[in-house]
């Protein structure tokens, strides 16, 4: 047995940032939104070869503001192939109201965990909703407004193609 380094052996997960500023170690501008409608933030990101997604989420790059008293929320979706039937995951704020800068404020539920070779990832946000009841999942829902600046991330590991070769 020879001694060599292997990402797979040590369980290395790679992270890809979108909108991380130079001040925070990135090279992009933050992703800012202020409208109350559906917005596409990242149109297409093509990973190198097939990948398995471990986690998606966001970092609040500048204060995110929503109504605290009636649970204002903005949902973000990560798609593969850009199709609505291929939702990688829904990302919801962990808390509502004003969220401080440099806070990871997202909860994720992954639906699809793979992106095939040649496919892309798209990130959109839906129309923010305001819920009149105490709970997020119950009560009357109306259109709301949530403003802020975010940096999205995808944690992933490269994987083999079906034919056993790296793409």
Domain ranges of the chain: 35-158
Residue 4 CA to residue 137 CA, distance in Å, equals: 50
Query: For residue 126, is pLDDT > 70?
Result: yes
- The reported pTM is 0.78
Per the CB < 8 A criterion, the answer to whether 123 and 152 are in contact is yes
Mean pLDDT, residues 142-157 taken together: 82
Residue whose tokens read 């986690």: 55
What does CATH list as the number for 35-158?
A: 2.60.120
Highest-scoring range by mean pLDDT, 8-17, 83-92, 115-124: 115-124
Mean pLDDT, residues 110-119 taken together: 84
Query: For residue 53, is pLDDT > 80?
Result: yes
pLDDT at 167: 44
């Amino acid at each position: 047995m020879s001694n060599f380094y292997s990402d797979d052996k040590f369980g290395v997960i790679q992270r890809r940032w979108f909108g991380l500023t130079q001040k925070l170690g990135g090279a992009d501008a933050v992703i800012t939104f202020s409208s109350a409608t559906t917005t596409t933030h990242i149109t297409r990101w093509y990973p190198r070869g097939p990948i398995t997604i471990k986690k998606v989420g966001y970092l609040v790059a500048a204060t995110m503001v929503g109504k605290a008293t009636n649970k204002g929320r903005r949902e973000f979706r990560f798609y593969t192939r850009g199709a609505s039937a291929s939702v990688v995951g829904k990302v919801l704020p962990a808390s509502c109201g004003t969220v401080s800068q440099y806070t990871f404020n997202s909860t994720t539920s992954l639906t699809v965990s793979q992106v095939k070779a040649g496919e892309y990832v798209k990130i959109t946000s839906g129309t923010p909703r305001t819920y009149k009841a105490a709970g997020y999942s119950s009560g009357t829902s109306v259109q709301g407004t949530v403003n802020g600046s975010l940096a999205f991330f995808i944690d992933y590991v490269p994987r083999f193609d079906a034919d056993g070769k790296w793409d």
